[in-house]
């Protein structure tokens, strides 16, 4: 009887070596002037940007939820990494931070070097777009925990901001304008409910046309989570706060940037709910409040700007091609988000 080895237990070291060879050039393509060390080191290293007076490090970690199930079923893995980086960049942007470096964690039931390469190609593409170095990560193969072809993906970002330039509720006051920026679809939230509606209630496949469109279901559901960094970074000095509209929707994220003595009054008649959300609401018979609590409803980021800065912010966003609109106002209150 032949002796056991790691491969017989479900972990293929050779596949891991192949995967590292496939992704090396992708990772190194993100290195910048702050990056130190080399690919394959036990830890990634980065210098802080020079010239900062009182730099703070801003960190965030996230995943892309069950959107992964769509990518796996459609065998399309090159956008899911972009989703992850863009989501994390938006999260630290909400505190005024510029991205510095990124790390990823990918866990497979059985490592597929091709799939990993596609995932990392998306990560690297988004990192390069933000001047953010992909300085490290972990690829794990865990048979018995994940069932092939399933995998999991998480990301960790670190950025920098001057201490006196941090955005947030401490800057917000009654009279501030609420400026909305459109989402590019579901982004990375609400997919458990969306999948149930699309594949169970509507009995659609990934290749079927999404109702009311000529676009396949997989393409609609895999639309890349939009990054707002390029549009907003030049305007940060005129911004009081940013709310990234993720899990919890407008009510569960806009309240995070409100002081206790203020409300955010959101006028829902100021925009047309995109087709994707209307289809989900109708096919799932979902109540209005539940839709706004689960999905972004077409709003990916809300900018809070002083009344005297709102026109300038609107002008800058319009010039960047971001299609902003005034969605409401901050009023005296008790820290609530009012959808009217």
For 280-289, what is each residue's pLDDT tens digit?
999 999 999 9
With contact defined as beta carbons under 8 Å apart, do 126 and 26 qualify? no
Give the per-residue pLDDT at 38. Answer: 84
In the chain, CATH 3.30.1330.10 sits at: 7-165
How does residue 10 score in pLDDT terms, banded at 50, 70 and 90?
Answer: low
In the chain, CATH 3.90.650.10 sits at: 169-339
Q: How many CA atoms lie within 13 A of 170 on its CB side?
A: 6
> Top-level CATH class of 169-339?
alpha beta
- Whether 215 has a pLDDT exceeding 80, the answer reads yes
| Portion of the chain with pLDDT greater than 70, in percent | 96
127 contacts: CB under 8 Å, gap ≥ 6? 30, 85, 102, 133, 134
- H/E run at residue 218: helix 217-221
Q: What's the average model confidence in pLDDT over 184-192?
A: 96
Q: What is the mean pLDDT of the chain?
A: 94
Q: Would you call 144 helix, strand, or coil by DSSP?
A: coil
With contact defined as beta carbons under 8 Å apart, do 212 and 275 qualify? yes
How does residue 4 score in pLDDT terms, banded at 50, 70 and 90?
Answer: low
- Whether 127 has a pLDDT exceeding 80, the answer reads yes
How far apart are alpha carbons 229 and 87 in whole angstroms? 10
Structure tokens that stand for 106 in this block: 């990918």
| Portion of the chain with pLDDT greater than 90, in percent | 87
CATH architecture of 7-165: 2-Layer Sandwich (3.30)
């Amino acid at each position: 009887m032949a002796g056991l080895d790691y491969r017989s237990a479900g972990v293929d070291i050779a596949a891991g070596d192949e995967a590292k060879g496939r992704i090396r050039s992708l990772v190194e393509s993100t290195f910048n002037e702050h990056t130190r060390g080399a690919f394959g080191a036990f830890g990634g290293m980065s210098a802080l940007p020079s010239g900062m007076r009182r730099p703070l490090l801003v960190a965030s970690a996230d995943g892309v939820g069950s959107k992964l199930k769509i990518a796996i079923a459609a065998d399309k893995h090159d956008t899911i990494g972009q989703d992850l980086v863009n989501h994390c960049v938006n999260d630290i942007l909400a505190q005024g931070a510029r991205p510095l470096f990124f790390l990823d964690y990918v866990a497979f039931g059985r490592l597929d070097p091709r799939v990993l390469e596609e995932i990392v190609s998306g990560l690297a593409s988004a990192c390069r777009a933000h001047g953010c170095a992909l300085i490290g990560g972990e690829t794990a193969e865990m048979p018995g925990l994940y069932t092939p072809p399933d995998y999991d993906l998480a990301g960790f970002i670190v950025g920098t901001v001057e201490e006196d330039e941090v955005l947030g509720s401490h800057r917000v006051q009654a009279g501030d304008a609420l400026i909305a920026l459109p989402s590019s679809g579901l982004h990375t939230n609400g997919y458990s409910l969306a999948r149930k509606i699309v594949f169970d209630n509507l009995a659609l496949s990934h290749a079927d046309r999404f109702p009311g469109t000529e676009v396949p279901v997989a393409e609609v559901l895999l639309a890349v989570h939009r990054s707002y960094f390029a549009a907003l970074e030049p305007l940060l000095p005129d911004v009081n706060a940013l709310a990234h509209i993720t899990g919890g929707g407008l009510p569960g994220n806009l309240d995070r940037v409100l002081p206790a003595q203020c409300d955010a009054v959101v006028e829902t008649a100021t925009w047309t709910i995109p087709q994707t959300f209307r289809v989900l609401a109708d096919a799932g018979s979902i109540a209005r409040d539940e839709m706004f609590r689960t999905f972004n409803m077409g709003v990916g980021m809300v900018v809070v700007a002083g009344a005297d800065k709102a026109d300038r912010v609107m002008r800058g966003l319009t010039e960047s091609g971001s299609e902003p609109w005034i969605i409401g106002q901050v009023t005296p209150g008790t820290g609530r988000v009012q959808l009217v």
